[in-house]
Each structure stands twice: as C-alpha cells, then as structure tokens.
Amino acid sequence: MGLLSRKATCNSHGQDSSYFLGWLEYEKNPYHHLHNPNGIIQMGLAENQLSFDLLETWLAKNPEAVGCKRDGQSIFRELALFQDYHGLPAFKKALVDFMAEIRGNKVSFDPNNIVLTAGATSANETLMFCLAEHCDAFLLPTPYYPGFDRDLKWRTGVEIVPIHCTSSNCFRITASATEEAYQQAQKKNLTVKGILITNPSNPLGTTMTRPELNLLINFITEKQIHLISDEIYSGTVFNSPSFISIIEALKDMNMEKNNRVHIVYSLSKDLGLPGFRVGAIYSNDPTVVSAAVKMSSFGLVSSQTQYLLSVMLSDKKFRNHYIVKNQNRLLKRQRKLVSGLEKSGIRCLESNAGLFCWVDMRHLLSSDTFEAEMELWERIIYDVKLNISPGSSCHCNEPGWFRVCFANMSEDTLELAMQRLKSFVGSIKKHNHQELEKLRKESHVGKWIFRLPFQSFNEQDQR
C-alpha cells in the first residue's frame, strides 16, 4: 500500500504542458538587460506591468491605507484579528462598484451576491465544486487558457469537453460546434453541467459578440445547465467593439436574475495585482453563494489587502483615471507588438482586449502538424530565446498559432524581442531560398514547387 495518495502521485496537474515547460526554461535563463542580455525573454506570462506608476502614485498620496490607519488612527489590531468569511463589507462594495464602472455602469452588482476568493484560479475551482460532481463535464470553447486543465480538473475530477472553434470565422462560437460538443460528451456518458467561457478571451484577446452571448444563454436555457463567464480581462478592453458582460446580455433578454449564470472576476489583470490574490465569484443563486463562502475558508483574501483596496477602489477619481489611462497604454503596446510582427511577415488575429495577441505562424511550419508546431516552438525558445505559448497548449485544433504576451515587459525589451524574431524569420527565408536554388539546379527542371523545411513568405500557403 502506497504511503501517498493518488492525487499526490498522479500526473494530472497539467504541469507537463508546453505552456508550463516554457516557464521552466525561462526560469533557467531569464533575460536581464544588464546581467543576462542573451537570456530568454518571457512572453508567455499574461501580466499587466504597464500602469504600476499610477498605483504607486496613489499609494504615495494615501499613506494611511498602506499603514493600516483610518482617520489618523491605527486599525492594525482590527485587521490583524480573524475576519468573517464573507469579507469586509467596504471592500465588497468598492469591488462591485469597480466592476460596474468597467462595464460602463450599464449593469449593477449586489455585494451580497459576491464571494471573495484567493484569485480567479480559486474562484473557478470553487464553482466546479459547487456545480459539478466527479466525472461530470463542462464545455469550453477552444482555444482556451492552458491553466484550466489544472484549475477545473485536477482536484475536482471534472472533465473538459472542447467546443472546437476555427480560424475560418476568427474562432467565434457557433451553435453547431456547441451542440456537437454536447453530443460528444453524451457519447462518453458524461453529464454536462455547464459551459465556461472567458470574455474577453484568453488566448484570443477578443471580446464576445452579442449573438454569441445570446446563443450561449439560449443553449444553457434549453439544456438546463450552467454558464460561467470568466471576465477577469474585462477592464483591459482597449479598442472597439466594446465589452458586453454576460450580465448585460441577460439584462437585455429580461433574464438578469438567472441563477444558472455565474461570473468570475479578479484584480490580477485589470489592476495588475496577481500577487495580491484577489478574486471573486458573482452569482444570483443563494445556495451557490452560501456554499462558495464556506469553501472560501481554504483561500481567503487577507484583511490588510481588502482594506487597502477598499480605500483605493472607493476613490472614484482615481478609479476612472486608471481605467482610461491603462486601456490607452494597452492599445499603444498592442499596436507595437502587431507592428513588430508585421515587419517579420507575421500576422495576428485582430484583437481588442487582453494582454496578448493570438499570432499566426502557420507559414513557418515544416508541415501542417502539431509535431511541426512543437519543433518551431523549441527553436523559438532555444535559438531565438523567446518564451511564447504554442496553440496546442491552448487546445487549438489548428497547428501554428501561438499566444504572445506584450504587457509584462518594458518597451525596450519588446523591441529586442521583435528584433530577435525578425532575424530568425530572415534566416529561415535565406535558408529556404538557398535550398530552392540548390534543388532547382540539381533537378535541371524549369519550374518545380517544393515543400521546404520552412516555407518562404513568397510561397506560403494562404490559409
């Protein structure tokens, strides 16, 4: 009999995904402009480091919030003592006001329906425990965040069934693909308990359209299942079309109090505070809220963190200034990445949100296979020294797509990354041209069409 549990010894965590392996390679050889200029540049981490100065300026002007004081009096003892699982009322009120402002105040949130969690990871897992049994299934549109294989499945035993979306319609969700995924789950004798979406999408960097949201609402209503809308990137929408929250779509359909729809939120992306571990579940189902509050005892947000952020997010002037300024900076940085990639002959899916772009490198593959995708990914990590996330780690069913992050580094570092990539693509083009000339000479034939190890941009497939 083993001394450890199957959970401790199994390999179902997802840590062997290329998404996480890229992080490991980066950690062995991290880029630093002075100490390690030839190291790997981290472009696989969706962190927002563009607006720290706005936060730091506010903190400098509000030392009482940092020093655990209120009206000049210390509240250290109050914060140091054990707090109720429900969280500080002042923080929950400030958080729902912030969520409403991000959504243009078109909708409002009841602070009694929100549950605080230690980040969105904890929020999503808690909802799995609340809504599904071991071996039940949730449908997820592809491509999806690689961490969901850990967050949703590892401890809960819930299965993920993909809704396959394709580049033919810019990876939009369709009724046929959703129904097909539902039928596939049934063929596997899985009980489908719901659908989980990320809106804005990680990794696509796009917001969902109203027809997509309406489709999903109608689908879960027909099937009598749940819908989880992970909206942790809602404040990063930097271009049109504007963001439509699932709760806004429900309101427009006179279904605002639907208790089968749940929202996950976090301050990790919109405020750039992943280290603060602040997440939330919003639900109109009192049983879900009650159960989630009990489960939150395994991952509470510290009282000091709640107090600091309650003061910060209650500052309406700062809140508005930060949202606008941060979105403008994200737009500028995204355009810089897209422009740099275009100089190398690489295109992206058109995006309007998030901290990353969904990058099309299909023309650089040696063949239309996931093996070729991994070969290219390894060359980019070890030769170009950039860590980007291959589409296969996001369960994309088309080889050659990659998620590339742009907000977790300085502008100079991004420029260096684009220079490295341009040199790499240039070497491929040169190699392909030389091989083509060699083969033509050896064949003594006028015009042949060859499939080279890496296709030139003049002869690439137009896919």
Catalytic residue among 97, 230, 285, 360: 230
Rounded to the nearest 5 degrees, what angle is found at the Cα of 393, between the Cα atoms of 179 and 348?
85
* Angstrom distance (rounded) from CA 34 to CA 416: 13
Q: Kindly provide the residue ranges of all beta strands, DSSP E only, lying in 294-387, ordered along the sequence.
A: 347-348, 356-360, 386-387
Which CA distances in Å does 343 have to 365, 373, 376? 19, 21, 19
Q: Is the omega angle on the peptide bond into residue 63 within 30 degrees of 0, that is, cis?
A: no
Catalytic residue among 269, 270, 380, 428: 269
Contact 434, 393 (CB under 8 A): no
Question: Annotated catalytic, 346?
Answer: no
Catalytic residue among 145, 265, 282, 322: 145
Question: Annotated catalytic, 232?
Answer: yes
* Angstrom distance (rounded) from CA 260 to CA 285: 7
Residues 295-333 as b/e (b if ≥16 CB within 10 A, e otherwise) read bbeebbbebebbbbbbbbbbbeebbeebbeebbebbbeb
Contact 260, 225 (CB under 8 A): yes
Q: Kindly provide the residue ranges of all beta strands, DSSP E only, lying in 175-311, ordered along the sequence.
A: 192-198, 226-230, 261-266, 279-283
Question: Annotated catalytic, 160?
Answer: no
Which strands, in side-by-side order, build the sheet including 347-348?
A: 347-348, 356-360, 401-405, 389-390
Catalytic residue among 40, 232, 380, 428: 232
Pair of tokens at residue 328: 């403008």
Tell me which H or E stretch contains 404.
Answer: strand 401-405
Contact 88, 303 (CB under 8 A): yes
3-state SS, residue 396: coil
Q: How many residues does the chain have?
A: 463
Pair of tokens at residue 304: 């000091």
Question: Annotated catalytic, 149?
Answer: no
Cite the active site residues: 145, 230, 232, 269
